[in-house]
Structure 1
């Protein structure tokens, strides 16, 4: 009798469990979505955003690729991105209430984004297959994209999902930065150098650091070294970190266009003493207009070679991270740079090419820039009176990357500007050519391009020298050296201010920083004597 009762009770329980499940299935529908690369025909990672009547859908498929991320290394996000999108590795199935949903599929700047209206019918499962098409293929042209400013903690367990994330944004190199401040570090990386590289084909992850970071001198960058460097007791002496990173095979630089957190002071202090390799000139942390070049041109006009780089600063910065709509939130790859390689792609060849300056930064437009067939980062030495043939081309997409204008610039001055309204030009291709005849002085020459209000691109310069001379701008040397002196005076005022706030500690390092200021003043004096126009 007891066994019969148990069987009856079990059947009743099963019935009551199955009924709601069947009822739910009848009230919802499912859709299977497969995404392939249009050329290879293979499944490809993508970014997906689903909305209903303009509002984000809060349901996730089981196939979502998830990694914990957040500000200050907190677990603020996991499967959803800040704009309510998510990543999948090529296919997913999702169950939703009936309705007409908008599915947006994207894959970085070089692929054409797709928007599809899909109807979910109750009790039914449908299937959709989509192919992601490129409007341009930069790897086929030997240019590899990178986001060198990503903050996500990483153990070996996160390697594969994080690689899927950068594949979904079509970024060839993702640089994961350990971040620090005076007190501690965040976003740890399990290894640096060769041991910290995770690669599949033309995509790789590597480690770096954004440390030191101070409100008085700015945020320092370093990547490619065999180990991270940090001097807690000498935290404000950035040059010690830079020197050690260089010894360990790394590159160094400043973040946020050297604008945020008074980074121009640090760039002056370390850049004029030859400690800096790269400057992040395109990013959405400072402004919705991502290209900021004031401090870049400052250093170039003084004759200092700097590679232009860019990075998203994920998860901190979006197109308008303070006031913008969700679709303008922080996103990996929204600011990136391209590096030209004339040899097989790997970490070493990529880093060597970055060091050589063979780069351009972009939030959409693509640039091809040459001077007498030299490319960005090259040093072109010519004889006095020779002619320079300059070509600059920009490529875009009429709806996704609509080009507005391209400019050839030398010493910060526009030599030629072409817009989409000029004869023979369009929103998907702009071309400017120029001959500089009888060149009398050295100069740095670059190209820059503008798309919509949030899209821009800029090359590292080509450095033109005459009979082995310099490329500095003798017209602006005095004013830029005076500006450098002003920045040093600002720093000295900080050193005289004892602040109670624990975030401001420059005063504590007064003696060591004053020594470095004095060294920089000596450099300024030498530059003034050697470069000023007489």
Structure 2
């Protein structure tokens, strides 16, 4: 077996680098799998080999859970008996014994984005029996810096969640157990308790839900009981907004717009029915892209070509929301159990400091103290403040904002981008970032607006990126409302309204009532715009 560390680079100030097989080979080990002694029957050439794999933390030497991606010589994924398998990988709790057909295998082993990847290949000979121990090296510890990870879109069996969370080093994992097609609680009582703790600092909740119909998908969290949703075949009626309004009446509930390009997104936002919006969503996959918008608002493929177009389209829509004076934090969800991501591939880190609780995590998410990622790891401050902070200035005053950033990566990132009011105003190459010891050039603001920082990797197959949540600037008491961005959503709502043609007049009127409210909201934003 040959094994390689994938590149992992920790880029704080001062800058430290670590390299592996992407830019060179490090930590190579070799294990030869030998056949058993002579005297085998002629048919033994077809006998399976037995291979035990153990994984430990490189620093502590203690066993840890991890995900294992193994493929045979024909590219087929390997399963392990009695361990949770999804699409191309399985989670295991520190050791696993595999019975494998003779042949050559490739593998990747990972434990979330804070550990180096291990990858390599091995050969199984007929009847062989062997074992190996692999160490996984953590190259950044986000929770020690106050950042705690969560994934808002999970469709995996609840009984598997403790292992799945440990294997991806994930801390908050609401499990969707009710949605349009089914509910786990139809013929049995609701779970008590609904919130389960793993290892004292990991939480999974059993009453998350999803309404996925014609307008898009809404995710529901922290409700005391499921909503009585219609079947998914009822695409437009009853309207999704009606159920979101019911959820809004529940204290502590949280509503997430699963993707920015869903047709009813501008309606839900206008009605105040969104606490967060999925910037890193399940169309961004570990090994590729779902390069379309499903039944959402399609992108212009000339301006947003594949494979990254869906990712940039999602971000530009989000920037239009921010340009309209709306302060909705970004979130992340992998869709594991529906699409082929592992749990925790797309994740949102929420800054909770030293007082991490389930409640504090959701409060931090709503406050916008977030970074979303499926790869690079950012720990940002602007003038010493976390994302979500509002900077105030008097009319005529100019603010100078200093951006301090720690960055850790497993893949090449050529530059960091500062996005201000929807435009990239700085592209800072990593050489300059290193030279400046983690500080980006200052940004000046003489009017209300917002800014954030993002990093996009050079991965050619998928949109692998990280983005901070926005910081906001208020000069005087005037919000920045872009006329172009407000018109963008007004046109969107009008286009959506033109699509709706229900046979029942009363149903059509109810659905159109929500659209009319949204239209009035966006018309008002256009009329009161403070910027082009």
Same fold? TM cut 0.5: yes
Q: CA deviation at 1:42?
A: 2.0
2:429 corresponds in structure 1 to 419
Structure exhibiting the larger radius of gyration computed from Cα positions: 1
SS at match of 1:140: helix
In the alignment, which residue of structure 2 is the partner of 1:65? Answer: 83
Which structure shows the bigger proportion of residues in helix conformation? 1
Cα displacement (A) at 1:412: 0.6
Tell whether 2:498 aligns with 1:459: no
Give TM-score, length-normalised by structure 2.
0.77
Q: Is 2:258 aligned against 1:255?
A: yes
Q: How far off its partner does 1:380 sit?
A: 2.0
Q: Which stretch of structure 1 is more off in the superposition, 455-464 or 107-116?
A: 107-116
Confirm or deny that 1:241 pairs with 2:244.
yes
Q: Is the 8 A contact 1:405 1:430 kept in 2?
A: no
3-state DSSP of counterpart to 1:531: coil
Q: Deviations over 1:326-362 (max 9, x none)?
A: xxx4332221111110242221111111111111111
Q: Which moved more, 1:231-240 or 1:298-307?
A: 231-240
2:480–2:530 contact (8 Å) kept in structure 1? no
Question: In the alignment, what sits opposite 1:49?
Answer: 69
| Alpha-carbon offset, residue 50 of structure 1 | 2.8
Please tell me whether residue 390 in structure 1 is matched to residue 410 in structure 2: no
The corresponding residue for 2:448 is: 442
Matches within 5 A, 1:45-444: 45-53=65-73, 55-56=75-76, 58=78, 60=80, 62=81, 64-66=82-84, 80-83=85-88, 85-122=89-126, 124-154=128-158, 158=159, 161-181=160-180, 184-186=181-183, 191=190, 195-215=194-214, 217-232=215-230, 235-257=238-260, 259=261, 263=262, 265-285=263-283, 286-287=290-291, 288-289=307-308, 290=311, 292-317=314-339, 329-384=340-395, 385-393=397-405, 395-397=407-409, 400-420=410-430, 422-423=431-432, 425=434, 431=438, 433-437=440-444, 439-444=445-450
Q: Which residue of 1 aligns with 2:10?
A: none
Give me the whole-angstrom Cα distance separating, in 2, the residues matched to 1:470 and 1:243: 32
Asked whether the equivalents of residues 418 and 431 of structure 1 are also in contact (C-alpha less than 8 Å), the reply is: no
Preserved contact between residue 394 and residue 406 of structure 1 (Cα < 8 Å): no
* Partner of residue 32 from structure 1, selected from 52, 74, 89: 52
* CA distance in structure 1 between the aligned counterparts of 2:334 and 2:161, rounded to whole angstroms: 15
- Note closer, same or farther for the CA distance 1:448–1:465 as it changes in structure 2 (3 Å cut): same
**Alpha-carbon spacing, 1:27–1:273, altered in 2? closer, same or farther (3 Å):** closer
Q: Measure how far apart 1:451 and its partner are.
A: 0.8
Displacement, 1:300? 0.9
- SS for the counterpart of 1:463 is strand
> Superposed, which structure 2 residues align to 1:461-500 within 5 Å?
461-467=470-476, 469-473=477-481, 476=482, 478-496=483-501, 498=503
Helix, strand or coil at the partner of 1:269 = helix
Partner secondary structure for residue 405 of structure 1? strand
2:30 maps to what in 1? none
Q: Which runs of 5+ in 1 are unaligned?
A: 1-18, 67-79, 318-328, 499-504
Alpha-carbon distance between aligned partners in 1 of 2:322 and 2:365, rounded to the nearest angstrom:
17
With over 3 angstroms needed to count, the CA separation of the structure-2 counterparts of 1:151 and 1:96, relative to structure 1, is closer
Give, in angstroms, the shift of residue 188 of structure 1.
5.8
Work out the CA distance in 1 between the residues paired with 2:421 and 2:224.
36
TM-score (norm: length of structure 1): 0.77
- Deviation readout 1:110-164 (Å, 9 max, x if unpaired): 111112444445555323222211121111111111111011343xxx1xx3210
SS in 1 for 2:268: helix
Match of 1:15 in 2: none
1:390 CA drift (Å): 2.6
Number of the residue aligned with 1:4: none
* Rounded Cα–Cα distance in structure 1 between residues aligned with 2:54 and 2:531: 64
CA RMSD after TM alignment? 3.2
Report the Cα offset of residue 105 of structure 1: 1.8
Q: Tell me, yes or no, if the aligned pair for 2:194 and 2:207 is still in contact at 8 Å.
A: no
Structure 2 unaligned regions, length at least 5: 1-38, 284-289, 292-306
Give the aligned length. Answer: 459
* Contact 2:176–2:209 under 8 Å retained in 1: yes
> Does the aligned pair in 1 maintain the 2:502–2:508 contact within 8 Å?
no
